[in-house]
Amino acid sequence: SAVISQKPSRDICQRGTSLTIQCQVDSQVTMMFWYRQQPGQSLTLIATANQGSEATYESGFVIDKFPISRPNLTFSTLTVSNMSPEDSSIYLCSVAPSGANVLTFGAGSRLTVL
Amino acid sequence: DAKTTQPPSMDCAEGRAANLPCNHSTISGNEYVYWYRQIHSQGPQYIIHGLKNNETNEMASLIITEDRKSSTLILPHATLRDTAVYYCIVRVPAGTALIFGKGTTLSVSS
């Protein structure tokens, strides 16, 4: 299965700032997914990021707040913009290697907004 | 919305089998049943998946009813390290994300 590296693993940020989370995969993958996990909650899908096309956002998530880049088949970034304390969550990326039926997850990026 | 129903919590004694149920009465013919778990503060970990036949791997067994409306994940000899939130998810494998429900919190005690 694919090995995913997420950076940063955790960060503490000030209200009103932005943070970019990186997701690096050790193999080429077609589809990447970004999730948010608020404290004590389950995972919620933010968007699907395919290389060469705009990300597709789920209901309740907008590009201005969570811009995503997918420059190649092994890398993606998620930016959390104009942060507020409500954005304090774990953000996870997940990949679906081509031909594989199993999604793999990164360890997550724990974000605390003060 | 998640298409599965799971009990919010279960307890299991160490060394005993843990049987985690899942209802998916609206499952479509091309949807598979996936099980993942999330140990505290880690990313979700794949356990097993199946379409209609029972499946077994080194981690667990998956029993799917004949009508496919429910399934059971079996951890044959639970250990303390199996304490986690277990998610049952139905999904069409090709090109779709996993949609998580609330899962079952399994607590294994000695």
Question: Taking residues B100-106, what's their average pLDDT?
Answer: 96
In this predicted model, what pLDDT tens digit does every residue of A36-95 receive, in sequence order?
999 999 999 999 998 888 899 999 999 999 999 999 999 999 999 999 999 999 999 999
pLDDT at position B3 over 80: yes
What band does A30 get if pLDDT is binned at 50, 70 and 90?
Answer: confident
Predicted pLDDT of residue A51: 82
The answer to whether A94 contacts chain B (CB < 8 Å) is yes
Distance CA(A56)–CA(B23), nearest Å, equals 29
Distance CA(A106)–CA(B43), nearest Å, equals 6
Q: Which residues of A touch B102 (CB under 8 A)?
A: 42
Q: Which residues of B touch A60 (CB under 8 A)?
A: none
- Ramachandran class of A4: left when φ > 0, alpha when ψ lies in -120 to 50, beta otherwise: beta
pLDDT at position A9 over 90: yes
pLDDT at position B1 over 60: no
Residue B75 sits at φ, ψ, to 5 deg, of -100, 110
Q: Which of B5, B35, B38 to substitute to test the interface with A, most A CBs within 10 Å?
A: B38
Predicted pLDDT of residue B106: 98
Structure tokens at A77: 């970034």
pLDDT at position B2 over 70: no
Distance CA(B108)–CA(B16), nearest Å, equals 9
Smallest CA–CA distance, residue A16 to chain B, in Å, is 26
Predicted pLDDT of residue B13: 97
Distance CA(A48)–CA(A68), nearest Å, equals 9
In this predicted model, what pLDDT tens digit does every residue of B69-97 receive, in sequence order?
999 999 999 999 999 999 999 998 777 89
Distance CA(A66)–CA(A61), nearest Å, equals 7
Smallest CA–CA distance, residue B67 to chain A, in Å, is 22
In this predicted model, what pLDDT tens digit does every residue of B45-70 receive, in sequence order?
999 999 998 999 999 999 999 999 99
For B50, which residue in chain A has the nearest alpha carbon?
A101
